[in-house]
Amino acid sequence: MFRWRYIIPRVIIFGLIICIVAFASGPLTKWLLITGGQSVTGAKVEIGNLETSWLEGKIRMGEIEIADPRHPMNNLVQQDEAVLNLDVDRLLHKEFIVEQARISNIQFGTPRTDSGLLSKSNKPSHVDLDWIINPLKKQAKTLGQNWLEQFERRSLKVIEDKLETVRVARQLNEQWTARYRYHHEQANKIKKQIDELKSMIKKPSKNPLRDFERLQVAMRQINNFHNQLRTTRREIHQLDDLLKRDRQRLIDAKERDQQKIKSSAEFFKVDANTTSELLLGRQRSDYVNEVISWVKWFRGVLPNPKRDFYPQRSRGENIQFVGLKPRPKFLIQSAKITGRGNIGGQRHDFFGSATNLSTQPEFVEAPTVFNLETSGARRIQVVAQLDRRTDKKIDDIRIKIPGIRIPAKHLGSPDSMLLDVSEGRLVADIGVRVEDNNLVGRIVFRQDHLKMSVRQLNPKAGGFNLASSINQQLSQLNEFVVQIDFSGKPNNLNVKLQSDLGTKISDAFGRMVNQAAAETIAVQTRRLEEQVNEEIARLTNRHKTEINKLLKIVNADSNVVAGLEKIIPNLNKWPKIR
Amino acid sequence: MITGIWKIFRMFRGSFAGGDTPRQIGFGVAMGMLIGIVPKDSLFTYVFGVLLLMSTANLLSALVSGFVFTWMGFLLDPLSHALGKVVLTNANWQATWCALYEMPIVPWTKFNNTVVTGSLLIGLALFIPVYWGATKTFKTYGPRINSKLGQYSTYRWLAGREHFNQPAEPAMNKTLTQTEVV
């Protein structure tokens, strides 16, 4: 009836296959996961051990390493253990939907001993991770110089202001010397002409008829001398008016100088931003670098499968049927994770959760969200929303440091100003949005419960004496807030720093420097007043002397001319020659 | 006990050789062709494998045929892809494909892949001609082939005919007789 010869062995074979499938489902699943993972990423996938329980839809994997297709000598991810609770219903639809996962000791970017590339034709891209951050540190070196230049510019300005009065005084001195010389020359010239006339008149003549003509010429010259001497005397008297005007000019210059000195002192203020840059420039660089490290880390953690993976080509083409909503083939809806990572050069142990992790994020409705907290002394809360649903990578990362103790440190530079800051508490809130390679972010941190004092101050900025005065004011200061805004590409970041620390320190400096400057200016103003008064007195005295000398010469000449006029006979009484 | 185990082993070995009528051999060749031509990451392959095991087909011929047609399948990929694409992108069939894809297990067949569907259709289309051709061939040339292969001890061992002095002729005669009986 039955052909047992055929049926029994086939039943046995079939049974054996069922048994093999049942008992070897682990290795089979392992093989499927490895080949599936490799075909998606284009990089090696290694799984140490694997246990399956299909009825419960549970897979437990141990010692998992997935190579990074962008960096073949690094692992994209490495984990000690992963327990996945699969949605069995979706599994029947060939969809690996992990409803809940527990991933222990996950590590990112760990080094490999062998290359993780499956095919040599895959050329690793380094688009995202070649971010350069060093320029920020370079800027810090020039901050001290910039800060000191403020003081240097101020000193130079005061010296220039002094020069205006001095310059006017020097000009007046030169002008008056020239004037006096001119009038002396004029007087001497007239005197010489008078002496010549005098000798001509007194010279005896052989022919009396000739004397008439000679004396007529002499009379005309005498009249001319009278006119010249009158003019000279008038000019000499006019010099008094000129002197008055020049004295006023000197007084005006002095008043202008004093005004300028006062106004320059009023406007002098240490620039708060430059001070903030000097004191917090290094911290700014460190914080921005750390934020970029976090961004880099998350970028490394979650590559863009479309761009960064090298899926192996399968035979044919998978058709997406019209009307069928595309769904991801692999999705971890929610995972509890613990792990560690090197971020910003520091090792962080962390724990938290991840949602919506998929190899086909474009088919997932919501972006991937990591909610992590670092363990240990430095507790950092991180919420990262990484959107890979479109070709544009969009990351929103929020990092909160709720309050950690920070050790004592120095701010600023020993070349300009070095500030001692005692240990205190740090609270920080960092937000950064990255669209492809464009960053926009803000870091706000507050340091409180601290004490500050100026340890070193460059002599150009006031030196030890000013530092002591400022320290008295800083004793009231026990907290400060810093806000760093940055935008642009990572290798060309536009970073703006604002802090009330710079304002507070600058105000303290401003008060102390202006107080010292006011005293200096008062001394300078007084000295200028004295100098101008001395200059005016000297000018006046010299004028009097010179005027007296000139008038003396002119008067003497007038007397001589008058004497000559008397000795000339009256020409009208002479007989007329026909 | 040992005799029982030996009997079961002989039966197992016999099942590998399978039925040795030309029809069983032809069916084995056709099933092997179907399994070989369809990509192995499709559930179709395993379903056909189970069907093969459940049938009285000659497994040895199926194994050889499967091996040969696996390589032929790669050569047929362009044709399979073109055919599969025409079928799968046909607007009138989209609702059917969607409904099929939404059914459990079915997506594991990868029928939405052009090569899978194309090669499946080619395989199904070739099934009857291959079965008919192979049956005819083995009817005509079977004894001669059996005689030639019978010279090899491996074949004799696999076919369970190591005790026969003249393995080819009697086996084929017996097969013909059995076929007539069936």
> Residues A49, A84: contact at Cβ < 8 Å?
no
- Within a domain: residue A261? yes
Model confidence band, residue A457 (pLDDT cutoffs 50, 70, 90): confident
The pLDDT, as a whole number, for residue A315 is: 81
Domains contained in chain A, number: 2
pLDDT at B133 (0 to 100): 93
**A89 falls within a domain:** no
Is A6 close to B81, i.e. CB distance below 8 A?
no
User: Å from A365 to nearest chain B CA?
Assistant: 19
pLDDT at B80: 94
Instruction: Say whether pLDDT at A299 is over 50.
Output: yes
Residue A577 has pLDDT above 90, yes or no: no
Q: Is residue B60 part of a domain?
A: yes
pLDDT digits (tens, 9 = 90+) for A33-90: 888 778 777 788 899 888 888 777 888 889 889 888 777 888 888 888 999 998 888 8
Select the residue of B56, B89, B102 nearest A6 (Cβ to Cβ).
B56
A431 pLDDT tier (thresholds 50, 70, 90)? very high
Expressed as residue numbers, the domain containing A11 is 1-37
Residue B121 has pLDDT above 80, yes or no: yes
Do A258 and A141 have their domain in common? yes
In the predicted model, what is the mean pLDDT of residues B12-34? 75
Least confident of A143-152, A415-424, A454-463, B122-131: A143-152
The number of C-beta contacts closer than 8 angstroms across A and B is: 89
Say which amino acid occupies A433.
Answer: R
All residues of chain B having their beta carbon less than 8 Å from the beta carbon of residue A17 are 50, 53
CA distance A500 to A522: 32
The closest CB to that of B104, out of A13, A93, A314, belongs to A93
Q: Where are the beta strands (DSSP E) in A292-423?
A: 330-343, 346-358, 368-374, 381-387, 394-406, 409-413, 417-421
A554 within a domain of the structure (yes/no) = yes
Whether A203 shows a pLDDT value over 80: the answer reads: no
Same-domain status, A142 and A258: yes
A317–B113: do the CB atoms touch at under 8 Å? Answer: yes
Nearest to A321 among B97, B114, B116 (CB): B97
List CB contacts (< 8 A) between B80 and chain A: 316
Report CB contact under 8 Å: A324, B107.
no
Residue from the list B53, B107, B114 with its beta carbon closest to the beta carbon of A319: B114
In this prediction, residue B34 carries a pLDDT of 94
HEC profile of A405-432? EECCEEEEECCCEEEEECCEEEEEEEEE
Instruction: Tell whether B145 is covered by a domain.
Output: no
Contacts of B95 in chain A (CB under 8 A): 323
* 8 A C-beta contact, residue A101 and residue A83: yes
Residues 6+ apart with CB under 8 A from A470: A454, A457, A462, A505, A508, A509, A512
Mean pLDDT of chain A: 80
**Contact flag B118-A316 (C-beta cutoff 8 Å):** yes
> Is A256 in the same domain as A143?
yes
Query: Among residues of chain A, what percentage have pLDDT more than 90?
Result: 9
Contact status of B182 with chain A (Cβ, < 8 Å): no
Nearest by CB to A93, which of B18, B53, B107?
A: B107
Q: Report pLDDT for B116.
A: 94
Residue B122 structural domain: 21-140
Answer yes or no: is A472 within a domain: no
Average the pLDDT over each of A26-30, A364-368, A389-393, A555-559 and give the range with the smallest value. A26-30
Euclidean distance between CA atoms A389 and A396, whole angstroms: 14
pLDDT tier for residue A572 given thresholds of 50, 70 and 90: low
CB B13 within 8 A of CB B160: yes
- Give the pLDDT score at B126: 94
**How far apart are the CA of A309 and the nearest CA of chain B, in angstroms?**
21
DSSP state of B177: H
Per-residue pLDDT, averaged over A256-276, amounts to: 75
Q: What is the mean pLDDT of residues A291-296?
A: 78
**Residue A2: pLDDT above 70?**
no
A361 occurs within a structural domain: no
Is the pLDDT score of A482 beyond 60? Answer: yes
Residues from chain A contacting residue B77 (CB–CB below 8 Å): 315-316
Let me know if residue B176 belongs to a domain.
no
Q: Which residues lie across from A399 on neighbouring strands?
A: A382, A430
Average pLDDT of the residues in A475-499: 86
In chain A, residues with a C-beta closer than 8 Å to the C-beta of B115 are 315-317
Count of structural domains within chain B: 1
pLDDT of residue A5: 65
Q: Is the pLDDT of residue A356 over 70?
A: yes
Contact call for A10 and B97, based on CB within 8 A: no
The answer to whether residues A23 and A141 belong to one domain is no
Shared domain for A263 and A140, answered yes or no, is: yes
Q: Do B85 and A89 touch (CB under 8 A)?
A: no
Residue A222 reports pLDDT greater than 80? yes
Of A72-81, A249-258, B148-157, the one with minimum mean pLDDT is B148-157
| pLDDT digit string, tens, across residues B73-97 | 889 999 999 999 999 999 999 999 9
pLDDT of residue A6: 66
Do A386 and A298 contact (CB within 8 A), yes or no? yes
pLDDT at A233 > cutoff 70: yes
Q: Is B53 on the interface with A (CB under 8 A)?
A: yes
Query: Which pLDDT value is given to residue B40?
Result: 87
pLDDT band (50, 70, 90) for residue A121: low
Are the C-beta atoms of A368 and A357 separated by less than 8 Å? yes
Query: Which is more confidently placed, A12 or A372?
Result: A372
- Tell me what pLDDT residue A163 has: 59
CA distances to A83, A223, A299, A331 from A335, in Å: 9, 124, 19, 10
Task: Pick A577 or A362 by higher pLDDT.
Answer: A362
- CB–CB contact B98 A8 (8 Å): no
